[in-house]
Amino acid sequence: MKKLTAFDQFIQEKTSGRSEVNEKVFRLSAPYSAKGLVGKIMQGFKKTIAKFNYEGDDAGLLKDVNKAWDKFKPTAHKLVLAQVKKATKNMDGVAFVSFKAPAWTKADDLSKSDGESINIKSGEVVINVGFADDADAGKSKRKFDKEAMQNSPIVDAKDLIYGEYSGSVGDNNLELRGSEVMLVEK
* pLDDT over threshold 70, residue 92: yes
Residue 11 lies in a domain: no
- Total domains in the fold of the chain: 1
* pLDDT over threshold 80, residue 128: yes
Q: What's the confidence (pLDDT) of residue 2? A: 44
Residue 7 lies in a domain: no
Residue type, 177: R
How far is 52 from 75, CA to CA, in rounded Å?
A: 19
Confidence band, pLDDT 50/70/90 cuts, at residue 112: low
pTM of the predicted structure, to 2 decimals: 0.84
Confidence band, pLDDT 50/70/90 cuts, at residue 171: very high
* pLDDT over threshold 70, residue 51: yes
Q: What's the confidence (pLDDT) of residue 3? A: 47
How far is 47 from 168, CA to CA, in rounded Å?
A: 39
Residue 148 lies in a domain: yes
For 2, 66, 186, the CA distances from 36, given in Å and listed in that order, are: 35, 22, 29
Residue 12 lies in a domain: no
Residue 112 lies in a domain: yes
How far is 183 from 80, CA to CA, in rounded Å?
A: 25
Helix (H) / strand (E) element for 67: namely helix 58-88
Residue 1 lies in a domain: no
* pLDDT over threshold 80, residue 37: yes
Dihedral sign, Cα of residue 148, residue 152, residue 155, residue 161: positive
pLDDT greater at residue 128 or residue 135? 128
Mean pLDDT of the 149-171 span? 92
Give Cα 59 distance to the centre of its chain. 21
Residue type, 83: Q
Mean pLDDT of the 161-166 span? 94
Residue 147 belongs to domain spanning? 23-185
Contact between 119 and 183 under an 8 Å Cβ cutoff? The reply is: yes
Residue 70 lies in a domain: yes
Residues of the chain above pLDDT 70, percent? 87
How far is 150 from 129, CA to CA, in rounded Å?
A: 10
Gyration radius of the chain over CA positions: 20
Q: List strands edge to edge, sheet with 25-27.
A: 25-27, 181-185, 117-121, 105-106
Residue 18 lies in a domain: no
